[in-house]
Chains A and B, each alone.
Chain A
């Protein structure tokens, strides 16, 4: 029996997406306002230096960056700049660069290794978890469980130095840092460092949900009517077992973006995390806010996509 499922594009699907957007947009606005107020309330302005600037110079600087306006006007013009022109304003530290330029420089790098890591974590994790569940209580299962437990206590900032010790210092196979789009050997260590612990979590989630599905009635029925094992697993077990994994992808995405900070620092890949930490150490609030808001927007967008995919796969969800 086939369950009717709302294909993308039916009215209630659209209503559902609109409902989700109705939450997403205020969230983003709140994030912008929150970080703006944080920045405004922070002790010391962007032009506070060891040698105090003459009052006239300071006033001119404030006027140039619009800091003499009332607070609400600053917020409105900041939001308007982002919404209308996708403009995060000028950097407070590098006088000749805008936040957009700084972000545009690092973003492609982060996106590349982030996407590859995400793919590796999902594909390897799902495979490992599914195989472990199918071969429950065999050597393969124990191996998979061992790997996933071991990988969970090795977060990216622990993986990174270990990888460098093994592959660069001892074996000398891989470059210890830097980034080239054309040479994937520069990609390997960042991707491993970033994806390992998420692969482990996905494998754990996949294994337990697959075990549950394999013990359920519809699988017993499928087996009873004589379907070959691979068809039972691929056609009947895999899809329902994937649901918990999909709902984990949202949080995993957020922590992977956070993890890119470590990758950028440790492997000098020059991604967006580098821009964030540099600006944090330089107190370049404009860049910090720009990165935070961009990452927030990405997170919200990604969660939206995950929710839609979830609803699309799970026939039980009615919007």
Chain B
């Protein structure tokens, strides 16, 4: 059979055009997000910080463990930032390259933030959606448990855990993950409760769709907006938690480091006139937090246009 190739082409174009023509909720949100100057600024910051964390090591002239013996002991005079000897950000108090250490600190901080947030997304969403969907006594029980856990001064418990079971990065992830999902599960439950009353859920139930399938196919996709926004805003909070613990010297252990640990070291030595030891880690810390806050706020505005 001879097919008019011209017609086929036009049909193909038409179907593909049809995709573009209808603007979905997501396309709308995307448009609003990219028009938001603060959010775009935040996104640029995040891209910069991520690139720094991923590729910073290939620019670094020193590793994070090497001690530069030519500056050791005279860090205040010779350890400052300089292009000549390859210490772009100067050296730390022991003569280690601060650039490489800041790269590593940024990596660890980002990792803790993103993993903590990911745990919150997985556990919090499943927990909150289950409690909200089934409701009744189960919901009451599950949410009381969250209330009780939220009332515990978690930072103290986390420090208790770190002291008693050794200061390791795994323990830090476990500790941060244990607490991060609580708030998320509350938000997801609230959203699920409102979704549950919608007609399409009722329709799905009426034709006998089993509960897990309803949750997976009809509830979870509608939670994406809330969860994304909250997860984005959770990342900087996780980074703050980790930095707090590392500042106390209970977080990641040498030779590994995180931004909190670097800020702690830097602020301990400012009286010797080595301001760069505080300034560079602090700069990346602030840039990262700014980035996540702006992007999170931008996402919220984009997904919920009436809340402005």
Contact = CB atoms under 8 A, between A and B. Distances in A.
Interface of A: 23-24, 26-27, 30-31, 34-35, 38-39, 41-43, 149, 152-155, 157-158, 160-161, 164-165, 169, 254-255, 257-258, 261-262, 265-266, 276-277, 280-281, 283, 285, 288-289, 291-292, 295-296, 299-300, 303
B263 A299 contact: no
A278 to B, nearest CB: 11
B8 interface: no
Given A149-B293, A157-B260, A265-B248, A258 B148 contact: no
Given A158-B263, A169-B270, A27 B148 contact: yes
Contacts of A160: 267
Given A277-B248, A288-B163, A303-B151, A35 B157 contact: yes
Given A292-B157, A303-B151, 19 more contacts: A23-B147, A38-B160, A38-B161, A38-B164, A39-B160, A43-B164, A152-B289, A153-B285, A153-B290, A157-B243, A158-B285, A160-B267, A165-B270, A258-B244, A280-B163, A283-B163, A292-B160, A299-B151, A299-B153
B169 interface: no
Interface string B141-182: 000100110011101110111011100000000000000000
A262 B244 contact: yes
A42 B164 contact: yes
B282 interface: yes
Given A157-B243, A258-B244, A280-B250, A288 B160 contact: yes
A161 B156 contact: no
B270 A161 contact: yes
A77 B157 CA distance: 22
Most buried by A among B147, B156, B293: B156
A39 B163 CA distance: 10
A211 to B, nearest CB: 9
B91 interface: no
B174 to A, nearest CB: 13
21 contacts: A23-B144, A27-B151, A41-B164, A42-B165, A157-B243, A157-B263, A158-B263, A158-B286, A161-B263, A161-B270, A165-B275, A169-B271, A257-B153, A261-B155, A283-B163, A288-B163, A291-B156, A292-B153, A295-B156, A299-B152, A303-B151
B153 A155 contact: no
Contact of A157 (B147, B152, B264): B264
Contact of A254 (B144, B153, B236): B153
Interface size class of B (residues with CB under 8 A): 35 or more
Contact of A23 (B148, B240, B250, B278): B148
Contacts, number: 108
B247 interface: yes
A169 B270 CA distance: 9
Contacts of A34: 152, 157
B152 A31 contact: yes
Interface string B245-268: 001101000000000100110110
Contacts of A169: 270-271
Closest 5 interchain pairs by CB?
Answer: A161-B267, A42-B164, A258-B155, A153-B289, A292-B156
A295 B153 contact: yes
Given A262-B244, A283-B163, A158 B282 contact: yes
A289 B271 CA distance: 35
B163 A161 contact: no
Interface in B272-308: 275, 278, 282, 285-286, 289-290, 293
B139 to A, nearest CB: 15
A39 B164 contact: yes
B240 A155 contact: yes
A296 B150 CA distance: 10
Nearest to B156: A292
A258 B156 contact: yes
A184 B271 CA distance: 24
B249 to A, nearest CB: 8
A118 B126 CA distance: 36
A34 B153 CA distance: 13
A121 B117 CA distance: 28
Contacts of A295: 153, 156
A68 to B, nearest CB: 21
Nearest to A258: B155
Nearest to A281: B163
Contacts of A288: 156, 159-160, 163
Contacts of B282: 158
B292 to A, nearest CB: 10
A284 to B, nearest CB: 10
A293 B114 CA distance: 31
Contact of B248 (A161, A261, A289): A261
Nearest to B243: A157
A153 B163 contact: no
Contact of A30 (B148, B165, B278): B148
A80 B250 CA distance: 32
A255 B153 CA distance: 8
A20 to B, nearest CB: 10
Contacts of A41: 164
Nearest to B183: A251
A161 B278 contact: yes
Contacts of A262: 244, 247-248
